[in-house]
Structure 1
Amino acid sequence: MQWGYVPFLYFVAVLGLEAAMQKECRIIKALQNKLTYQQRLQYMKHYFPINYTVNVQFEEVLRASNITRLRDENVSELSLRCLWLSVNSQVLLKIWAVLLEKHPSWEYIQDLCLLFEQLAEEYEDCNQGKVDTNVWDVVEQVLTSDAGSSQKAVYPKVLLDNCVKVMRMLYSESCE
């Protein structure tokens, strides 16, 4: 190959990466618009009975402190994003499963699920070879809904609050 093509190929690769990041950031922006505090409060608290909880696996309660701890262990950003995506996709499905189709929050959760599906398409690299082993074990456990895992009753709003906090931690620098 001639050396004259190397800068051109590099330029094309950078443009492809930039286009992928722009699509990912558009989805994150749409998620931020859907997950505003007012909407989380309305759809996940006001439209639910008082003290209503959803049973989730212990691993599905992903907090900002979990991400900080994993970052201290030098877990890659791709692994953290895959973990966040996998956990919250499953959480949304569990919330959606308890809703009747006529429930006021049903369509809201459906829209969030669609956005997470679009984001999952952008993360084709979320497989065992690319994700850190300790994170992959948690992802696998969440995706298989391991019956041996301990269950925890959590308010739906708290689950989405955690989702938003972790999303801001993971995407604030790359998608401003």
Structure 2
Amino acid sequence: MQRGYAPFLYFVAVLGLEAAVQEECRIIEALQNKLTYQQRLQYMKHYFPINYTVNVQFEEVLRAANITRLRDQNVSEPSLRFLWFNVNTQVLLKIQAVLLEKHPAWEYTRDLGLLFEQLAEYENCEQNDINVCEVVEQVLSSDAGSSRKAVRPKALLDNCAKVMRMLYSESCK
């Protein structure tokens, strides 16, 4: 009798996994809609003083080249997504920390933060990618010994959008 349930349970598990992927892609699509060039330009450049920068850790400047280098080192896609998610969550918090609640970009960054909160349940680090997990731990700990870098808010969100497209273009078409 139990052998008859195995295919059914497998089918239910596959359906559950497919639903999770679709929900993750829905959140990524909403993020893409929020991270359009026009919105990044308006909220992160025009609403800030000229040459305004935010101090972030060196590791929080996550560019497409970093992802390519990590892919060449055979780091798994789930771990790269985990890195992207955690780095950009911290970046958003730092941008929002310099804004007043009545600032025009406050609501924009809050909405981005809410989308990242929804995405949180889908992101985790694979234990075999120790280097990625260590970088994430360093970013989350806000280690004072880490080198700092002054970066424009728009550049940080430009990197976020580019890396997101790299990481999710295959699975969320």
Q: TM-score, normalised by structure 1?
A: 0.95
- Could you tell me which residue of structure 1 aligns to residue 52 of structure 2? 52
Which SS does the other structure have where 1:3 is aligned? helix
Distance 1:131 1:96 in 2: 33
In structure 2, the CA distance between the partners of 1:89 and 1:7, relative to structure 1 (3 Å rule), is same
Distance 1:7 1:165 in 2: 40
Show the 5 A alignment for 1:12-31. 12-31=12-31
- 1:142 paired with 2:139, answer yes
Q: Is 131-140 or 164-173 further displaced after alignment?
A: 131-140
Q: Is 131-140 or 87-96 further displaced after alignment?
A: 131-140
- How far is the alpha carbon of 1:4 from its aligned partner? 2.6
Cα deviation, 1:96-138, whole Å, max 9, x if unaligned, reads: 0000111000000000011101101222xx25x6361000110
Distance 1:5 1:60 in 2: 47
Distance 1:131 1:67 in 2: 17
Report how many residues are paired. Answer: 173
Counterpart of 2:40, as a letter, is R
Structure 1, unmatched stretches of 5+, are none
- Could you tell me which residue of structure 1 aligns to residue 109 of structure 2? 109
Q: TM-score, normalised by structure 2?
A: 0.96
In structure 2, the CA distance between the partners of 1:20 and 1:67, relative to structure 1 (3 Å rule), is same
Which SS does the other structure have where 1:50 is aligned? coil
Distance 1:113 1:144 in 2: 19
Distance 2:127 2:122 in 1: 14
Out of 151, 156, 160, which is 1:159 matched to?
156
- How far is the alpha carbon of 1:67 from its aligned partner? 0.4
Distance 1:131 1:91 in 2: 26
Superposed CA RMSD:
1.2
Cα deviation, 1:15-53, whole Å, max 9, x if unaligned, reads: 010011111011000000000000000000000000000
Distance 2:114 2:62 in 1: 20
Q: Is contact 1:79-1:131 (8 Å) kept?
A: no
- Could you tell me which residue of structure 1 aligns to residue 130 of structure 2? 133
Distance 2:2 2:90 in 1: 49
Structure 2, unmatched stretches of 5+, are none
Show the 5 A alignment for 1:28-107. 28-107=28-107
